Every structure is written in C-alpha cells, then in structure tokens.
Amino acid sequence: MSGPDITGELADQIAKDGPISVAAYMKAIAESYYSSGHVFGKDGDFVTAPEVSQIFGELIGLWCVTAWQALGQPRHINIVECGPGRGTLMADAMRAIGEVIPAFLNTASIHLVEQSPALRSQQRTLLRAYDVEWHDDLSTLPYGQLIIIGNEFLDALPVHQYERTAAGWCERLVSYSSCEFSFTTAPFPANVIDDTFDDAPVGSIIEHSGAVEDTVKEMAQLCIDRHGVALMIDYGHTQSDIGETLQAMKDHSYHPVLKDPGTADITAHVDFALVAQTARSEGASVLGPIEQGVWLRRIGASVREAQLCADKTPETVVTIKESVGRLIDAEGMGTLFKVIALAPREIGSLAGFEVER
Ligand SMILES: C[S@@+](CC[C@H](N)C(=O)[O-])C[C@H]1O[C@@H](n2cnc3c(N)ncnc32)[C@H](O)[C@@H]1O
C-alpha cells in the first residue's frame, strides 16, 4: 500500500480514534514507502553510502573480519545486517572478504533483517551467490556468536515528538481534515522528557524514539548474551538536544513530511547519546560515536581508493575520488554521519575506534 491508500487508511484511523502520534504516522508511512522497493539511487529518492562507493561495503566487510578476530575467531559467526536496502553493502562486503580471506566465508552465515518483500526480492537477486536467511526482526536470529551491522537503519525507526507548552512537554500529534494532514498537540503533558530541558522556550520541539531505544536494548543484550558486536552507522547528533529533525526525501529533495504520505522516505536524525546511554545501561561497552569520515580513513579508505584508481583512466580516477570524497569529506557524509559500536565489556577496542593519545 502506498500514496492514496495509506492516506485513506490513516484518515480513517484518525476519524475513528482521533489524532495519532508522529511515531505512529512515521511507522505507517515507512512500511508503505519501503514496500514499493523503488527508493534508492539516481532514479529513486535518495542515495546511501553503499550506493555512493563500493569501498563502503568492502571496508565494512573487512572490518567484520577484524571484529571476528577480536571475538576470539569463533568457528562460526552470524553476520546480521539490519535494513539492507538493495543488498549492496552486503554484496560488496562478501566480495571483498572472498578476495582477501576466502576461508572466512566458510565460517560466516548471512542474516538480513528486512520487512519489505520488494526489497527482500532485490536482496535475493544481488546476493544469489550466498546462503542468506531473512528475518522480520532480531528475535528470530539463530543461536550463536554474531556481528550486527546497519547503515541508515536506526533513522528509519519511528520517533515521537513533544512540544513545549505553558503546561509542559505535550506530545505532538497528526490530525486530518479537509483532505490535509496537520500537526496538533495533546491537551495534557506527557511525563517522558527529563527536566534537563525544562527551560526550553514554549514552541520548542524535542524528539524521542522508543523504537531506537528498544532496538538498541535488544542489540546490546544479543552482544552480551552471545558474545557479539554491533556496528551502526547513521546520520545524527552526539548530544540529546531540543530541535526537530523529522524529514522526508523525494526525488533527492526535501519534501513536506505531511504531504502525500507514502511517496517519500521519512526519517529522523539518530540521537547517538540515547543509543550510547541505552547500550551502557544494558551492560554493553560502547565505542564511539565517531565521525564516518574519520572511521573510514582509519580502516583503510585511502589505501582502497589508491588500489581502485591504479591503472584507471584519468576520468575514472576523478569519479572514484569524488565518490570516496563524498563518504569522507565534511561537505559530504563525513561528519554528519557517525559510527558507533556495541560490544561485551571484555572487548577493549575494535578497528577504527582506537582512542587517540
Ligand atoms: C534508508 S534504508 C537503508 C538501506 C541500506 N542499509 C543502505 O545503506 O543502502 C532503510 C532500510 O531499513 C529497512 N527498514 C526500515 N524499518 C525497518 C524495520 N522496522 N525493520 C526492518 N527493516 C526496516 C528498510 O526496508 C530499508 O531496507
């Protein structure tokens, strides 16, 4: 279901039960939007890092091998990707591993956490050379040690928004009338925002994602119980703060979040302070968050870029360098995107997260 169908369904729900939370609106739209499958790349609505340059998935693949070493080189490891999109990251990762350490492929099983049947079908095509199992969520993963990865997965999970009013922080809701969605505010304060932000001016918006919190809790527990690690890459901020980051992208441009729901990608910046605090409170060790550009350089982006440029025409070299620059430079994705890892406490560090002295 997409476009007018999701509009009708949400309008009916609001007419029956009253305005819905921003999180409920975002969840319904994300499910509808990703069910179409035609979302990535030049002909879609947005471009993600694995679609910008093959080095992104390749370096993450080789990072998984270093994580496996840090975990004590178990005889078998589950490589789990959350929200794999077209499957490009995993395909590049597996190809790089196969070229550098082919024996590792015999120890690894691939698991993809993906709800969209259309995207599962694209992933099946791209990863046809490998045995892959799909899951709706993390609860059905087979027992065993694991490495969880996810690029732009957490930003797709629903956020609640709260507006500062004279009475306190009231949940922001989505209403529908005269064929249009609009924001409204719950009449009573919700006691979910801590007093750090009590001085925020009336009209301020703050976001909180219970879905991110629950997902990170589950990942942290898996890392501890099964002696595994998780690596999440996303755009977001390192300090929880007031501000509205909910956004929609259509045809590579910003799109009003309440217009034509289901036809644009809807996301929110990830609150990495919440991710880190949630994982720590579950007993996990947290590495990062650090900027994507710094992390990619530390794990070998320049070396891989030089290899790719060798023997290429000057025009191809320019294209390769532009793509890698987009991943690393501050003007591209280098500083807005952050990388964070969760691990059991006994893991001191992981590649790319070394503390600078
Ligand atoms: C922005 S895309 C990122 C795709 C890919 N990782 C990349 O970098 O190209 C978000 C992905 O998360 C998936 N997704 C969103 N919400 C999900 C959920 N609750 N459970 C599982 N997958 C979800 C989408 O279907 C899609 O594959």
Q: Is the dihedral of CA 70, 71, 74, 78 positive or negative?
A: negative
- What separation in Å is there between the alpha carbon of 270 and the centre of ligand 1? 14
- Domain-wise residue ranges, the chain: 4-29+159-207, 32-157+210-343
Which DSSP string do the residues of 251-272 spell out, in sequence order? TTEEE-TTSSTTSSEEE--EEH
- Tell me the CATH architecture of domain 32-157+210-343: 3-Layer(aba) Sandwich (3.40)
Q: Which atom of ligand 1 is nearest to the CA of 83?
A: 12
Percent of the chain with pLDDT over 90: 88
What is the C-alpha separation between 159 and 192, in angstroms, rounded? 13
Q: Which of 218, 232, 228 is nearest to 353 (CA)?
A: 232
- What separation in Å is there between the alpha carbon of 28 and the centre of ligand 1? 14
Residue 278: half-sphere exposure toward Cβ, Cα within 13 Å: 22
Q: Which of 70, 39, 14 is nearest to 250 (CA)?
A: 39
Q: Which atom of ligand 1 is nearest to the CA of 116?
A: 25
pLDDT tens for 264-277 read 999 999 999 999 99
Closest residue CA from atom 18 of ligand 1: 115
- What separation in Å is there between the alpha carbon of 85 and the centre of ligand 1? 5
Ligand 1 — pocket residues by CB below 6 A? 30, 34, 40, 48-51, 83-85, 89, 113-116, 119, 151-153, 156
Q: Which pLDDT value is given to residue 87?
A: 97
pLDDT tens for 91-100 read 999 999 999 9
How sure is the predictor about 42, in pLDDT bands with cuts at 50, 70 and 90?
Answer: confident
Residue type for 152, please? E
pLDDT tens for 181-216 read 999 999 999 988 888 888 999 999 999 999 999 999
3-state secondary structure of 206: strand
Q: Is the dihedral of CA 127, 130, 131, 132 positive or negative?
A: negative
How sure is the predictor about 356, in pLDDT bands with cuts at 50, 70 and 90?
Answer: low
What is the C-alpha separation between 17 and 12, in angstroms, rounded? 9
- What separation in Å is there between the alpha carbon of 36 and the centre of ligand 1? 13
Asked whether the beta carbons of 57 and 90 are under 8 A apart, the reply is yes
Q: Which pair of structure tokens corresponds to residue 151?
A: 């690029």
